[in-house]
Amino acid sequence: MTDYASTKFSAAPRRVQFLMPFIIKTLQGIDAPRVLDLGCGMGYLLREIGSVRQDAELIGIDISVPNIELARSYSNRSRDVYINYILADYMNVALEPFDLIVSDSTLQLISQTQHALFGKIAAEIRPGGFLLVTLPNHCFYNTLLLAFRTLLRRVDVPATRRLLLQMANLVYKGYPDNVLKDRINYQFVLPNLKVDLRLLNMLYQDFGFDLVWSHDEDIIIGKLRHSLLCMVRK
């Protein structure tokens, strides 16, 4: 089992570049939006949102101690925007409703039933508010990659991780070792959620989430293929 509380998980800068146009579009027409980044990591996305929407109330939550420590450190260096970072398990914290909850490849890591997780999320999004989330989707590529990860978990020893790092250096030339080492952690993670019709039907019927649009991301070697979903709460 991965110890998320003590593990540093970093998102690549390209994730912020990819998500920001969708976030800006979603927040159009909402004055002083209240935004939660669920699984905020080191706060890169929230700082970018704050640079574009200075009127936004920004909150980030993450269970990882090093992630939140780094997020607070980075934010303290810039006084342009205040971001409230919460170190906690999301399921154990009661929050006031938001106009937007964004979660990039995090919900599938939370060990809760789908009803408990999305029930809490629905209760913390205002009627007419949005959920912008990326999750692994159901496809043949992901099925193969998950089978490979299952095998890796059986041989999770330092030698295996060194081999994976050597392979990553060949595939992702130019990436610093510290960034690639953070990404190696993901190769041993199996998701609890995936996007399929059953999930979408549950979100609509049980929690009143309408799918506004979806976007399937490109395949990246070693990374589960994700879908980006924008949903509005009725």
CATH number at residue 59: 3.40.50.150
Q: Say if residue 133 is in the same domain as residue 144.
A: no
For residue 30, the enclosing domain spans 13-138+191-233
Q: Say if residue 156 is in the same domain as residue 226.
A: no
pTM attached to this predicted model = 0.91
> Is 1's pLDDT higher than 50?
no
Q: Residue 6: inside a domain, yes or no?
A: no
Q: Residue 227: inside a domain, yes or no?
A: yes
Q: Say if residue 147 is in the same domain as residue 132.
A: no
Q: Residue 8: inside a domain, yes or no?
A: no
Longest dimension (CA), the chain: 52
Number of separate domains in the chain = 2
Q: Residue 5: inside a domain, yes or no?
A: no
- What percent of the chain shows pLDDT beyond 70? 94
Q: Say if residue 75 is in the same domain as residue 161.
A: no
Q: Residue 97: inside a domain, yes or no?
A: yes
Cα–Cα dist 108/117, whole Å: 10
> Is 50's pLDDT higher than 60?
yes
Cα–Cα dist 121/107, whole Å: 10
Q: Residue 200: inside a domain, yes or no?
A: yes
Contact 142, 136 (CB under 8 A): yes
Cα–Cα dist 173/192, whole Å: 31
Q: What is the mean pLDDT of residues 128-157?
A: 96
Query: What pLDDT score does 36 carry?
Result: 98
Q: Residue 2: inside a domain, yes or no?
A: no
- What percent of the chain shows pLDDT beyond 90? 77
- The SS3 call for residue 191 is coil
Query: What pLDDT score does 131 carry?
Result: 98
Q: Say if residue 41 is in the same domain as residue 93.
A: yes
Sole residue written with tokens 């250096």: 169
Q: Say if residue 51 is in the same domain as residue 150.
A: no
